[in-house]
């Protein structure tokens, strides 16, 4: 049966893994902070990601790296709205990476069709705003808040606690009127987890799939990959990022949120060829 992500009437085909390209319109993101802070450069970067194989562009105006400062609603809007408008006007499937209800509302008006929220629509007004927008939503697990989440992550049972949280947030979204086909879940790799816990999330992906929703994994260039490869710089973690996302795809993840779309697309072509080898002579 065909799997889709229903986003404001637009169906994104998830029968095969799709790439979500990251467009950070921030001065301080851990991997490319400041590189695309200028709106025009961010727009150009978005178009490059589409050319490189991204099916979705995830536009964010507030860094969620550990220790990142909060950004006002007004400043976040100034950063993301021009970028969303330009990319959406060109026909791109645009996601807004935000936890603020007002940013969600104005982003949808500007053409965004997806809301990607690290707080899983727990902030004031966000659940209702998301439901009213008709956008597809991605609900992520995070222990704590970005500024302190990596201070001392602790769980009695990591997989069960993450799974229960995701189920509760999906149920809340359904109760608010968000369609089940509009909901995607994200276990939150790197958000309030140790290195070992992050890789346990990846290894046990099937436990989250059992909830009945498509999964998004966002592991691109993260420090846990550097911890196991010895690559201290985020820009050196392209190969490990591709490997981690390919493992997620093999285990059933549908959306791969990455900085490096071209490299990810190439890996997925090999993965799909392996799955569909009978088509090749």
CA dihedral (13, 17, 20, 21) in degrees, to 10, reads: -130
CB atoms within 10 A of CB 74: 10
Which of the residues 169, 222, 237, 265 is marked catalytic? 222
Which of the residues 122, 257, 265, 278 is marked catalytic? 257
Could you confirm whether 222 is annotated as catalytic? Answer: yes
Could you confirm whether 275 is annotated as catalytic? Answer: no
CA–CA separation, 250 and 254 (whole Å): 10
Local structure of 62: helix, strand or coil: coil
- Token duo for residue 68: 């990142």
CA–CA separation, 160 and 158 (whole Å): 6
Long-range contacts, stretch 150-153, CB < 8 angstroms, 24+ apart: 150/66, 150/192, 153/192, 153/193, 153/194, 153/197
Hey, which residues are catalytic here? 222, 257
């Amino acid at each position: 049966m065909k799997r889709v992500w229903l986003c404001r009437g637009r169906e994104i085909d998830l029968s095969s893994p799709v790439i979500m390209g990251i467009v950070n319109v921030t001065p301080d993101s851990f991997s490319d902070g400041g590189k695309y802070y200028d709106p025009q450069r961010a727009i150009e970067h978005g178009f490059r990601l589409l050319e490189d194989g991204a099916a979705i562009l995830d536009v964010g105006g507030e860094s969620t790296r550990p220790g990142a400062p909060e950004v006002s609603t007004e400043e976040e809007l100034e950063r993301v709205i021009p970028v969303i408008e330009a990319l959406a006007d060109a026909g791109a499937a645009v996601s807004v990476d935000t936890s603020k209800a007002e940013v969600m509302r104005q982003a949808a008006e500007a053409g965004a069709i997806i809301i990607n929220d690290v707080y899983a629509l727990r902030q004031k007004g966000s659940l209702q705003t998301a439901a009213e927008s008709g956008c597809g939503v991605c609900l992520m697990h995070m222990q704590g808040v970005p500024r302190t989440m990596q201070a001392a992550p602790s769980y009695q049972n990591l997989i069960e606690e993450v799974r229960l949280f995701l189920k509760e947030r999906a149920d809340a979204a359904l109760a608010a009127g968000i369609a089940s086909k509009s909901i995607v879940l994200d276990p939150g790799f790197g958000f309030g987890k140790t290195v070992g816990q992050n890789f346990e999330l990846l290894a046990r992906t099937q436990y989250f799939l059992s909830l009945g929703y498509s999964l998004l994994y966002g592991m691109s260039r993260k420090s846990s990959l550097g911890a196991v490869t010895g690559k201290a710089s985020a820009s050196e973690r392209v190969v490990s990022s591709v490997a981690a996302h390919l493992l997620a795809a093999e285990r059933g993840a549908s959306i791969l949120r990455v900085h490096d779309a071209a490299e990810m697309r190439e890996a997925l072509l090999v993965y799909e060829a392996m799955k569909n080898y009978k088509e090749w002579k």
